[in-house]
Amino acid sequence: MRRVYFTDDHPLPAPERGAAMVLVVIFLSLSLMALTVLFDRTRLLFAFQEQQIRITASENGVEKALGIAIARMRSGVPADNTYACQLKLRSEDGSDVEIYHVIHTKIATDRWTLEAFPSGSEIEDCPALFTTSCPVGP
DSSP state of 134: P
Pairwise CA distance, residues 126 & 69, whole Å: 8
Mean pLDDT, the chain, integer: 80
pLDDT of residue 55: 67
Tens digits of residue pLDDT in 22-71: 888 999 999 999 999 999 888 888 877 887 777 666 567 888 888 888 88
**How far apart are the C-alpha atoms of 123 and 121, rounded to whole Å?**
7
Band (138; pLDDT cuts 50, 70, 90): very low
Q: Where are the domains of the chain?
A: 27-118
* pLDDT score recorded for residue 34: 95
Average pLDDT of span 103-118: 88
Q: What is the pLDDT of residue 89?
A: 86
